[in-house]
């Protein structure tokens, strides 16, 4: 037997930041844990690769990137005289590393279809609590900060605010893998400009243009990537596949699925009944479970499940119309009538093929967790107040668009 100790101070190579350092043995053990390794099998951008073929990066990449940026942020703040203890720094590394651990396969589609009663952030917290037990309470401070219950507010803001390490990584990373250069923010510059004033995370005034670019980049990435109409059509199609599968399973139909996936199809999951057993089941489910099942469902006897599954797997995506005003009932009924007769469907079945809704984009929310700028005279102002960029004011207003999806002819 080999008694040689594992070297836990590893260096990882990242295509965006270069070398990422694992700061200590506890972080290494958390990364090695099966709960965290599952993130290698969870896509960061769901079905966006159907629009941007390069977008195959995972939540594992993103979590490590966030931890790397957190290390930089802590280094900068300490250099500027902000006191952060080693325990607090370590808790921040853990909290940001695990902030997305509760995401399931195709997370947003899953939350809208078969796991509607619980949000991924609540599941992240359940994972952290389970790991805390396993690691003899070493995650306690990280959990307190993650829940926003720690007395030093700026530590929470590094994890969850409008200029947190999560956003700084995903915009840059998603921009890199999609090839959409508008999202390529200067995260290095933004982090270098960070400071703390009155226990609030602030950006020094000379960083104002980097903040403006960050807000504009976020708006462009949402319209161009996250809310791209073809990607939206694919995600809504996946939701319909999952809703139909759940409907059939609850009626007693046996579908080829993994045990973990079956548990979520057969049960109505919410925060109250999300037990340790549910968490174990959830930890075994990833993108592969869902895609392998959908491939099998193509040959299912149920016409709706089979047709929708085949459309998704072979990228025969619905036509998506996007406009600034809601679609009229007449417009929707006309399309439904046509699809109903083409596919010989009844009134409820046609809703699996024709559906509408709204999407919204708000690049900056001026009502909560605002981005504050610190001036040389010690004054702190909201970025909207400080910026002479008229667009920033406009970008704080939510913009709504309306979509309708139906099969292509």
pLDDT digits (tens, 9 = 90+) for 254-299: 999 999 999 999 998 888 889 999 999 999 999 999 999 999 999 9
Q: Which residues of 370-391 are buried (b: 16+ CB within 10 A; e: fewer)?
A: bbbbbeeeeeebebbebbebee
Residue 313 in any domain: the answer is no
Confidence bin at 1 (pLDDT 50/70/90): very low
In angstroms, rounded to a whole number, what is the distance separating the alpha carbons of residues 222 and 362? 9
List the one residue out of 164, 144, 163, 161 whose CA is nearest residue 152.
144
Question: Residue 165: what pLDDT?
Answer: 96
Q: Per-residue pLDDT for 181 more than 60? A: yes
Confidence at residue 5, expressed as pLDDT on a 0 to 100 scale? 67
CA dist 249 → 88, 256, 346 (Å): 47, 10, 20
349 within some domain: no
Q: Which domain holds residue 57?
A: 11-226
Coil vs helix vs strand at 257: coil
For the residues 116-133, what does the mean pLDDT come to? 94
On whether residue 167 sits in a domain, the answer given is yes
Would you say residue 235 lies in a domain? no
pLDDT score for 385: 86
CATH of the domain at 97: 1.10.3210.10
Asked whether 382 and 331 are in contact (CB, 8 A), the reply is no
Q: Does residue 273 belong to any structural domain of this protein?
A: no
Q: What is the mean pLDDT of the segment spanning 154-168?
A: 96
- Whole-prediction pTM value? 0.94
* CB-based contact 237:312 (threshold 8 Å): yes
Query: Is residue 169 in a domain?
Result: yes
- Do the Cβ atoms of 181 and 175 come closer than 8 Å? yes
Helix (H) or strand (E) holding 36: helix 34-37
The least confident of 21-35, 128-142, 299-313, 392-406 is: 392-406
Cα angle: 119, vertex 135, 99; to 5 degrees: 30
When divided into structural domains, the chain yields a total of 1
CB distance 215 to 361 below 8 Å: no
Confidence band of 203 (pLDDT split at 50, 70, 90):
very high
Beta strands 399-406; 319-323: pairing state: antiparallel
138 in a structural domain: yes
Assigned domain for 41 exists:
yes
């Amino acid at each position: 037997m080999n008694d040689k100790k594992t070297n836990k101070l590893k260096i990882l190579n990242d295509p965006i930041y270069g070398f990422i350092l694992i700061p200590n043995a506890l972080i290494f053990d958390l990364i090695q844990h099966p709960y965290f390794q599952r993130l290698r099998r969870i896509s960061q951008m769901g079905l966006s690769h159907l629009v941007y073929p390069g977008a195959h990066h995972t939540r594992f990449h993103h979590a490590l990137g966030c931890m790397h940026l957190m290390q930089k942020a802590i280094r900068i703040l300490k250099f500027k005289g902000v006191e952060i203890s080693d325990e607090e720094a370590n808790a921040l590394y853990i909290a940001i590393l695990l902030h997305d651990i509760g995401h399931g396969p195709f997370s947003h589609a899953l939350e809208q279809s078969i796991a509607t009663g619980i949000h991924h952030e609540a599941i992240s917290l359940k994972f952290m609590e389970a790991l805390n037990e396993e690691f003899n309470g070493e995650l306690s401070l990280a959990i307190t900060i993650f829940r926003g219950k720690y007395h030093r507010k700026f530590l929470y803001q590094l994890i969850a605010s409008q200029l947190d390490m999560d956003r700084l990584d995903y915009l840059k990373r998603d921009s890199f893998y999609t090839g959409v250069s508008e999202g390529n923010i200067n995260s290095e510059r933004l982090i270098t400009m960070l400071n703390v004033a009155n226990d609030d995370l602030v950006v020094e005034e000379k960083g104002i243009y980097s903040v403006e670019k960050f807000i504009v980049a976020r708006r462009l990435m949402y319209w161009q990537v996250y809310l791209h109409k073809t990607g939206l059509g694919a995600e809504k199609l996946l939701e319909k596949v999952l809703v139909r599968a759940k409907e059939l399973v609850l009626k007693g139909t046996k579908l080829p699925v993994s045990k973990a996936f079956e548990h979520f199809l057969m049960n109505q999951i919410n925060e109250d009944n999300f037990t340790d057993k549910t968490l174990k089941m959830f930890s075994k489910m990833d993108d592969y479970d869902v895609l392998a099942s959908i491939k099998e469902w193509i040959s299912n006897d149920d016409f709706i499940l089979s047709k929708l599954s085949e459309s998704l797997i072979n990228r025969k995506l619905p036509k998506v119309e996007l406009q600034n005003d809601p679609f009229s009932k007449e417009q929707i009924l006309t399309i439904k009538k046509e699809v109903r007769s083409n596919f010989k469907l009844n009134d409820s079945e046609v809703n699996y093929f024709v559906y509408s809704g709204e999407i919204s984009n708000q690049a900056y929310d001026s009502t909560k967790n605002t981005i504050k700028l610190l001036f040389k005279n010690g004054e702190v102002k909201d970025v909207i107040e400080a910026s002479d960029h008229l667009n920033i004011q406009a970008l704080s207003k939510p913009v709504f668009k309306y979509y309708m999806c139906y099969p292509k002819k």
